[in-house]
């Protein structure tokens, strides 16, 4: 596919204008989030009236962690706690835009504090990325994909409400719950799998020197930085409009196969390739290449973390060298009760220190109120 000169300049300018004014990944994510909020009907405040209210989010910041009762609810399996409930409340909590549906495995958890009946966090499990350097380094080989998918799961969303996360180490609690036997048992039952590996990555990489996943041994361990050599996606209406524009010029056909994996990323990669081949103006081509290089700089290496759920031979089982999982000495520590007990001690010290220093945050932080004031990564 080759575009005319005027068409190639038009398409190139879409990328140049989108990426030229963003210097860091957190700025990029924030801009995407604000764009998505602006696209909600009648602004986000109106969108939030009714179904997606703040009333469901935890706000009793005078409650000590010792008095809390934590419970996990799979979305869609309890009255009122639907997938829509999950998505709408996550939308006002999360600091970056998210996709409401993803291919492959999917399990959504809504985590509540039971005394108040309020939501303290959101978790979404999904099929792991196909390739990961830290994972392959740990395994010592590239595993068979079918076998790997039967044994592995990824945490795509691990987001506490705020300031519950700040005051009570909420992110760490959710991360450890991902590594619980309850998580693997529910996934095994849903997908007839035998999960023994959990993995996730930090939202940011080298921009931030730490993550909510640090300091969680033996539940979760840092295993290195991911590779990064892809262009972040154009989002929402910008991508959709440009995709339709390309299809019209491609005999009403999509740029990639309908069943392609990572389809959106592959469509955008094809757009970039077509633009590069089509541009004749050397100055415009250089501007386009500069914008793409700047965009790739945003997708920094991310911190990679994993858990083997208290099994001592997860690596061997994933590689097909052994068939039966063997419990390690600390296997029982991965129960939900023991995880909550571990968190409660850490959270109590955190809460008491913040309270005594006058640094507790007591204002619910959501995107339908003063989004410019939000400064917590989630």
Same domain, 261 and 287: yes
Identify whether residues 155 and 218 lie together within a single domain.
yes
pLDDT of residue 139: 94
pLDDT at 95: 66
Please indicate, yes or no, whether residues 195 and 281 belong to a single structural domain of this protein.
no
Phi-psi region of 334 (alpha: psi -120 to 50; beta: other; left: phi over 0): alpha
**pLDDT for position 265:** 82
Residue 45 lies in a domain: yes
The model's pTM is 0.78
For the chain, list residues with pLDDT below 50: 41-52, 376-378
Residues 12 and 129 in one domain: no
User: What is the reported pLDDT for 50?
Assistant: 41
Instruction: Write down the pLDDT at residue 225.
Output: 83
Residues 53, 11, single domain; the answer is no
pLDDT of residue 51: 42
Residue 374 lies in a domain: no
H or E element: which one contains 304? Answer: strand 302-307
Q: Are residues 273 and 154 in the same domain?
A: no
* CATH number for position 161: 3.40.630.30
Helix ranges (DSSP H) in 56-180: 83-93, 133-139, 145-151, 164-168, 170-178
Whether residues 90 and 139 share a domain: the answer is: yes
* Same domain assignment for residues 125 and 260: no
Can you give the residue range of the structural domain that contains 261?
5-24+232-298
User: How distant is the alpha carbon of residue 180 from its chain centre?
Assistant: 19
Which among 283, 202, 225 has a CA at the least distance from the CA of 12? 283
Number of domains in the chain: 2
Q: Is the residue at 11 inside a domain?
A: yes
pLDDT computed for residue 155 by the predictor: 95
CB of 157 closer than 8 Å to CB of 120: no
Residue 375 included in any domain: no
Same domain, 92 and 163: yes
- What pLDDT score was predicted for residue 377? 47
pLDDT single digits (tens) 352-367: 999 999 999 999 888 7
């Amino acid at each position: 596919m080759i575009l005319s000169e005027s068409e190639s300049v038009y398409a190139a300018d879409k990328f140049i204008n989108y990426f030229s004014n963003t210097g860091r990944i957190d700025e990029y994510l924030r801009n995407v989030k604000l764009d998505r909020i602006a696209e909600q009907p009648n602004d986000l405040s109106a969108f939030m009236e009714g179904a997606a209210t703040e009333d469901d989010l935890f706000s009793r910041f005078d409650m000590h962690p010792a008095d809390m009762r934590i419970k996990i609810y799979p979305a869609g399996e309890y009255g009122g706690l639907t997938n829509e409930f999950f998505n709408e409340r996550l939308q006002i909590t999360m600091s970056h835009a998210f996709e409401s549906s993803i291919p492959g495995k999917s399990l959504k958890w809504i985590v509540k504090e039971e005394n108040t009946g309020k939501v303290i966090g959101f978790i979404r499990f999904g099929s792991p990325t196909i390739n990961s350097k830290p994972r392959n380094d740990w395994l010592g080989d590239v595993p068979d994909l079918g076998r790997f998918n039967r044994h592995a799961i990824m945490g795509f969303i691990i987001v506490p409400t705020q300031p519950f996360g700040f005051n009570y180490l909420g992110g760490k609690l959710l991360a450890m719950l991902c590594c619980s036997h309850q998580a693997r048992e529910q996934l095994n039952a849903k997908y007839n799998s035998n999960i023994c590996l959990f993995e996730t990555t930090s939202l940011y990489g080298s921009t931030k020197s730490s993550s909510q996943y640090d300091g969680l041994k033996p539940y979760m361990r840092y295993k290195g930085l991911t590779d990064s050599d892809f262009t972040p996606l154009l989002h929402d209406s910008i991508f959709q409009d440009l995709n339709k524009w390309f299809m019209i010029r491609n005999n009403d056909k999509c740029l990639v196969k309908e069943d392609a994996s990572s389809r959106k990323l592959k469509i955008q990669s094809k757009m970039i390739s077509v633009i590069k081949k089509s541009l004749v103006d050397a100055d415009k081509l250089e501007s386009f290449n500069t914008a793409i290089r700047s965009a790739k700089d945003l997708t920094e290496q991310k911190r990679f973390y994993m858990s083997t759920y208290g099994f001592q031979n997860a690596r061997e089982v994933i590689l097909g060298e052994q068939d039966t999982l063997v419990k390690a000495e600390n296997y029982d520590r991965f129960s939900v009760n023991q995880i909550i007990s571990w968190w409660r001690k850490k959270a109590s010290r955190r809460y008491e220190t913040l309270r005594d220093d006058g640094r507790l945050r007591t204002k619910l932080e959501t995107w339908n109120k003063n989004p410019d004031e939000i400064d917590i990564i989630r």
